[in-house]
Structures are given as structure tokens and as C-alpha cells.
């Protein structure tokens, strides 16, 4: 997910997307520990998506508060 796509979302949608991405990362980590990961590059992708979501959500909250 790109930053532009995330910026177009409402804060509630960002929170939902953040929860879904964290859940997907957890499931992927569990499968990695079991040795059943087919696409290990997704770990990095999910971590970066979570960072983008959290950053933009924080920016929207500070903009709204100011």
C-alpha cells in the first residue's frame, strides 16, 4: 500500500487496515517459525506497511488537534 493511498483513507479506515496488517504479520511469523513460509519477503512488506500506517495516522491526529 502506498503512502498516497493511505492518506486518502479516513482515520478509522487506517486503524482497521493497521489491525488487519498486524494480524497478517502475526500469522506469517507463526508460519515462519513452523517452516511453512512460501513468500518470506512479505515479512518486510508488512512491517513497512505498518510503519506507514502508524506514521500517517499520527500525522492526521496532530493535524486534527492543531
The domains of the chain, with CATH numbers, are 3-65 (1.10.287.310)
- The predicted pLDDT at position 16 comes to 98
Helices (H) and strands (E) in the chain, counts: 3, 0
| Whole-number Å distance between alpha carbons of 33 and 53 | 26
**pLDDT tens per residue, range 8-59:** 999 999 999 999 999 999 999 999 999 998 999 999 999 999 999 999 999 9
User: Is pLDDT of 1 > 90?
Assistant: no
- The predicted pLDDT at position 64 comes to 84
Amino acid at each position: 500500500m502506498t503512502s498516497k493511498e493511505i492518506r486518502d483513507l479516513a482515520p478509522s479506515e487506517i486503524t482497521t487496515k493497521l489491525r488487519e496488517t498486524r494480524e497478517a504479520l502475526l500469522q506469517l511469523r507463526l508460519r515462519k517459525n513452523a517452516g511453512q513460509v512460501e513468500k518470506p519477503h512479505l515479512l518486510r512488506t508488512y512491517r513497512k506497511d505498518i510503519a506507514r500506517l502508524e506514521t500517517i495516522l499520527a500525522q492526521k491526529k496532530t493535524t486534527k488537534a492543531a
